[in-house]
Amino acid sequence: MSPRAVSPIATAVADAARRRRNRDPDYRAAQERLAPYEGIARFVIVRRGELELTQEQLADRMGTSHSAISRIESGQHRTSVATLERLAEALQVRFVMGFETGPREAPFRELVSV
């Protein structure tokens, strides 16, 4: 069993976030808006670890700054398509974009490898 992250006041972080999401529509909207960027952040962090790269080394591969990598990995900022393309190359993966049509519950996805 993995340990749960706990805030300084001994409430599980996930529990506190869930309670806030349930009672605060603005917080819920912000979480929904940031979800795609958090997904990108998680992928970058894991892949960078697999390649045993520091943020600085990844930044060098991309021709960008350490702070730019830090912003991407925070999951709080929009990232341009050009940056995602450079990121994919630096992480030795393919960048795939897509569009969805139909209902959210069962969308039809059209993906394109860039």
Model confidence at 18, pLDDT cuts 50, 70, 90, reads confident
Model confidence at 25, pLDDT cuts 50, 70, 90, reads confident
pTM for the whole thing? Answer: 0.73
43-67 pLDDT, tens digit per residue, is 999 999 999 999 999 999 999 999 9
Domains within the chain, CATH numbers bracketed:
13-113 (1.10.260.40)
Angle at 36 between CA 35 and CA 38, to 5 degrees: 65
